[in-house]
């Protein structure tokens, strides 16, 4: 999300949840689709979340970006990673229809069925044996026509993540699925670098079109900086610093706008 908490008249701004602030903040919602080969990543699509303008939910944008990535961009990635916000029934069904795999988390209130006779129960009601903790458990989500593999991932601080995948049973152990799910956090450096290196949050224009244009330029700037950083074998922060340093040194040696002295 692009934080605009002090704005009152900028279009596209609305109160929404911010992971950085852990609460509701005024800002512009942005949904990113990132391609990763684990070693590196690039954004391949993004959408501005503005339901008042286009009537689309975040899940609508998710499905549109996914379909566009497969049909128009011909992205060959086989596994999609996303958080529980996008783990809706419609999204999971679409991924399966596209012959892709998903690894995602579930909210605590989701219902699952272990067997047709047992009905649906809450995730916390499952009896987790050592075998299930190691290799996961085959379950059926409510309103889903197929089964998924459920894993209980416990963090060192005691926090629990419920991770599901449609990969065939036996493909992953719990440590494996934890490592697979961890790749999803590559999107966080993208968010941070967009804000810190391109000034994506700093546009104060009021019109929606100006805000959209500004964000588009920021993404282009980030990609250009990423390419240069890879060529130089540097981080994006070092690449940006060196670009500015070279420019300043060149201007000091041979100013394009000469200074005027007055007595």
- The verdict on 231 and 150 lying in the same domain is no
Q: Which two tokens stand for residue 139?
A: 């379950």
- The verdict on 64 and 109 lying in the same domain is yes
- The verdict on 141 and 234 lying in the same domain is no
- Total structural domains in the chain? 2
Does residue 227 lie in a domain region? yes
- The verdict on 223 and 161 lying in the same domain is no
pLDDT above 90 coverage of the chain, percent: 67
Q: Which of 42-51, 197-206, 213-222, 240-249 has the lowest mean pLDDT?
A: 240-249
Q: Which of 165, 169, 141, 136 lies closest to 153 in space, CA to CA?
A: 136
By the 8 A CB rule, do 207 and 198 touch?
Answer: no
Does residue 260 lie in a domain region? no
Q: What is the pTM of this model?
A: 0.85
Phi (first) and psi of residue 42, to 5 degrees:
-145, 145
- The verdict on 169 and 198 lying in the same domain is no
d(CA 219, CA 106): 30
> Cα–Cα–Cα angle for 203, 206, 212, nearest 5°?
60
- Give the pLDDT confidence of 107-148 residue by residue, as tens digits: 988 999 998 888 899 998 999 999 999 999 999 998 889 999
Predicted local confidence at residue 260, as pLDDT? 67
Tell me what the pLDDT averaged over the chain comes to. Answer: 90
Extended strands (E) in the chain: 2-3, 14-18, 23-36, 41-49, 79-82, 101-106, 111-113, 120-122, 137-141, 147-154, 160-165
| Domain span including residue 130 | 2-189
Residue where one domain finishes, among candidates 153, 169, 189: 189
The mean per-residue pLDDT over the stretch 62-67 comes to: 96
Between these two residues, 225 and 2, which has the higher pLDDT value? 225
CATH of the domain at 136: 3.90.350.10
Between these two residues, 170 and 207, which has the higher pLDDT value? 207
d(CA 92, CA 166): 9
- The verdict on 132 and 97 lying in the same domain is yes
**Which residues lie closer than 8 Å to 119 by C-beta, 6 or more apart?**
113
- Give the pLDDT confidence of 20-39 residue by residue, as tens digits: 667 788 999 999 999 999 88
- The verdict on 83 and 144 lying in the same domain is yes
The burial class, CB within 10 Å (0-12 / 13-18 / 19+), for 242 is middle
- Give the pLDDT confidence of 150-168 residue by residue, as tens digits: 999 998 888 899 999 999 9
- The verdict on 176 and 229 lying in the same domain is no
Residue where one domain finishes, among candidates 137, 157, 189: 189
Does residue 205 lie in a domain region? yes
């Amino acid at each position: 999300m692009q934080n605009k908490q002090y704005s009152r008249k900028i279009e596209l701004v609305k109160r929404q949840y911010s992971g950085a602030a852990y609460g509701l903040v005024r800002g512009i919602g942005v949904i990113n689709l990132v391609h990763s080969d684990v070693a590196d990543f690039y954004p391949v699509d993004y959408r501005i979340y503005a339901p008042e303008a286009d009537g689309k939910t975040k899940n609508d944008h998710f499905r549109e970006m996914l379909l566009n990535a497969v049909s128009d961009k011909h992205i060959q990635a086989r596994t999609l990673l996303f958080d529980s916000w996008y783990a809706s029934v419609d999204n999971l069904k679409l991924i399966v229809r596209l012959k892709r795999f998903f690894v995602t988390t579930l909210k605590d209130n989701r219902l699952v069925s272990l067997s047709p006779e047992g009905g649906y129960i809450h995730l916390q009601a499952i009896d987790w044996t050592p075998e299930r903790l190691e290799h996961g458990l085959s379950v059926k989500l409510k309103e889903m026509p197929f089964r998924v593999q459920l894993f209980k991932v416990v963090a060192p601080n005691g926090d629990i993540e419920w991770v599901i995948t449609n990969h065939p049973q036996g493909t992953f152990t719990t440590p494996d699925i934890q490592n697979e799910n961890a790749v999803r956090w590559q999107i966080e450096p993208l968010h941070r670098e967009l804000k810190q290196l391109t000034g994506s949050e700093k546009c104060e224009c009021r019109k929606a079109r100006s805000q959209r244009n500004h964000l588009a330029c920021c993404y282009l700037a980030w990609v250009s900086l990423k390419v240069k950083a890879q060529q130089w074998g540097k981080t994006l922060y070092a690449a940006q610093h060196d670009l500015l340093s070279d420019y300043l040194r060149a201007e000091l040696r041979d100013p394009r706008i000469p200074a005027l002295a007055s007595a």
